[in-house]
Amino acid sequence: MFTIGDLSRQTSVKVPTIRYYEQMGLMTAAERSEGNQRRYESRDRDRLSFIKHARDLGFTIEAIRELLALNAHPESPCVDAHHIADRQLQLVRNKIAKLRRLEKELDRITTRCDGDHIKDCYVIESLANHELCRSDH
């Protein structure tokens, strides 16, 4: 059995986050000792590691809830898990595309800026006038 501090150290998840996951229903409420301390088992640590890894990959709480529900039925086909992961992959790809557009625009406005004073600064001018941007970012 682990205390919440032990669980936190073993998974690198902060104690308030563990409590939050319990409140959100991602973690089952921990058993309590006679002194009212939370006590966790290995399965709780494994579940928390699963949640942490999913969060690290950017999955939403709702997507993690869906994945945990699927995980509770190991004999079921994994097509639903693939759909959830594909959805997350598309979100990541969309973010990457947006970041590339941002990078391109920032590169353009910083390399175009050759003013010595703010009154001649293209960065400031372009931030003040979105029409100077080359793309919708």
Annotate 84-119 with b (16+ C-beta within 10 A) or e (fewer).
bbeebeeeeeeeeeeeeeeeebeebbeeeeeeeeee
Given a cut of 70, the residues of the chain with pLDDT beneath it are: none
Question: Which of the 8 DSSP states describes residue 32?
Answer: E
pLDDT at 102: 92
pLDDT value at residue 13:
97
CA gap 30, 48 in Å, rounded: 12
pLDDT at 16: 96
What is residue 120's predicted lDDT score, i.e. its pLDDT? 81
As given in the structure block, the two tokens for residue 77 are 């086909």
Neighbour-count burial of 39, counting CB atoms closer than 10 A to its CB (0-12 exposed, 13-18 middle, 19+ buried)? middle
pTM of the model: 0.79
Give the H or E element holding residue 31.
Answer: strand 31-32
SS3 71: helix
Tell me, what's the pLDDT at 21?
A: 95
The pLDDT of residue 116 is 83
